[in-house]
Structure 1
């Protein structure tokens, strides 16, 4: 029975080994690529593929092989040794690792705290004394003494705004007297947020430190969070030069537009025609939704949030960027915590709150990983640390041989050495730790250092702990290499290879043509009679200023005009069948009537390279890339295992 039991175990092990054995789908030179990766990537990207042809397994395999060929080329060129690449990969891995370095209980507590704060907005001012978070003890003490002096002046009753202007080292203080406006959770660093939300309205906080330096914050108001709004706007930019006439003209334009709105003309159409915010004018002026403190203009926010009813329109107003008219599209109150939980968890992991989660994680890792420490060596270290630590003047011993050795064995496979701990003790002098006597201090620092080592070990082994983490990091690694390779072999080449670019442009010049273009003045009005009158003036060769003076009377704007060089299907030109030089016929589009004064007609012609260089470079890049994989197949030996591919097809198509 004993031998039979061993035989059954052996058979089970062999069968399991065969079932789990990876099968090479294809090889590139000596590198093997396995079917499990292909299946995983195919299934992962299936819903993202818009081109049905790419869902075809044969074509997808061709794309996948092409992708891996490029990655192999990147390795052959040694791009993975590039310092910038390595730093970016480690930065990404570090960001991704944050999702695995948390404690769910602590995270939930921080999410609930953040949600409670999100329901409020506080208005605060601050005084800042700058000091780098890694500053020397002397510089740190100097900054601390400055903020203590400021704090004492405030306690004596000095006005906060005056003290801010006199002492604050925030560069913006000259303009805002320290006023930061309204903000809610996640808008400031966590330490600052804590101070602001824990300070009573009308009071100022005790000095506190952030990564920027020492602060004192005064809370001047608190209100319920206004949520977010979506608005549309019409904007006339401020002239870039201090010319009074140009400023007055811009201001008059926004007032003329407002009069047309009051006359019943459509806001979206006017935004489309006249707004100089080109990122929104084509969408009727609609901006992305925003909350307090998210825009650069506090004035714009105040006007936007002052509108109460959908489609309500503000009067013209001025911001630091220009003149605006704002229309309310919709208001969005703060969502419930259930609706916001995913978003809040992500934000909690990304800001200083993550340190709280990390400390909690260390406690869990002490239970997960066993470690043994060298008590004798720790006692030796205690003898060389003295009271100079407290004055930040302690120096590490010159003779470290007696202190060298294994200080910790972690999880039976990771050895930690004493110089790391001694260096840590030296660095912690800046933390102003006052624990006494020295023996207790060293014990305290050892536990802190050990927490860091546990978290570091856990971080280093995430690929072994979590398969999905390993896969994501590998995908990003290859993608980053491919980006660097494309930049080197395709994008930069297309920009710098002037001979190749000129040759490509010459062979494809017919693809880069101007349509018929027209140098025109476009006159518009909601009144057919007005536009007919405008046309009669144009027939008499009257100027734009003359026409506006005759038609726009008594503060009523009946006709608007814009000028420029337009292609034949651009803007309202598409409504005119055969535009000719001179004055056009009248056409109607929507609620508007239009007439054109066509000053010049430029017939269809080939563009010069300078007129379409960006498009040509883009097309040339695509041309190079399309031929690149064929070149790589000649450089590398590719072999596809058709038997394995047949099994892959069968598995995916089940």
Structure 2
């Protein structure tokens, strides 16, 4: 019948449960009161113990990685979610007296009344709030969940109905507050939250629960039996060299008693010693006994999973068929890569021979060799055409006469096929100089940074080229693809010659 808070203050290993000195003053203990929290705020065993205990009741002892806990549930509320709140805060002075408390309560009540009478919350915060970190921002606090504030604060936020509403004055261990709700985002339904829940689950210790359940089932189905006395014998035989990470399983080579049996298999002291030798470098600062039993648990669990893995194809026919399909698919992929895909790339002599025998399949259509000339100033066209005529007479290139170095003149030389660009498709395909056209008509050639709206374009067609075979380097991608197809057909032909294929038409008909 003793008071829970009093017992917590006296006996709990959590220092926040009892009064303590902090920043020159006595900070009152919380008596074990952790405030509100929601899922994923606490470690899983603690959370389970709290959620499984009724309001006003005390749980059975709960073990976590931190120790043992007794949990008294004082209240449960609908999940707060995340809230954004502003507050006007009047702090309690250090070592406050009763008269201080009365005075500050009157001050907060007056400010609350002024808000009700229409004065702006933000103006009063700026003038009176003791929270220097938030008063310049209208009292706005960082967005928070239920585990980030003291219980009185959370209750007050939960009681505010709508965004923009304010609370009555709220007393916490820090002082008096008036809260203004700016935004509250409660948890959505399952379909909205499921992805975030899965993300948190994978990072939480509870993700191991499903694995533990599977291992327990494997042990039950396969007659798992341990021999603790033999495990203790092995632990006692480990000498001090283990602390220096220099221990060897050979030191206990004579120990071969069973540690456990599983599915007809027996695992000896020496089997585990070999495993332990490999793991000793990962011990860190963990004590020998704790490390030893932890590694034994991991070892036994690993053997359970290995056993189950070896039986999957026998237990689950669908899985066996799927694995066979995967194996066949991987085998076919590797063989095809070796005989077709990679071979076509690596076999340069074979590729060259294939191209030589099939060069007629890789033909250029009719093309023309031409210089494309762009002039930013149309007034220079007559002069430029004259220079080109001189170059033709002297059998010189336009580059050799310096045409491409003139200001506002751009020369592009090449061999062009149909559909290479709109301009080439527009001109007459005959030797000589073409008609000039506005450059702006051809988006693929017009560059607003180098040209202007007056720029013109014409061509100097030097020769027409009849259809001809492409060189290997001009058609390598297409030739390689065709060579791969050829190699695959040849491979299949050889397989058919070597192996007889029988199709059972009646079975095929049934499937269809």
Q: TM-score, normalised by structure 1?
A: 0.38
Structure with more helix by fraction:
1
- Taking CA–CA contacts closer than 8 Å with sequence separation of 6 or more, which of the two structures ends up with the larger relative contact order? 1
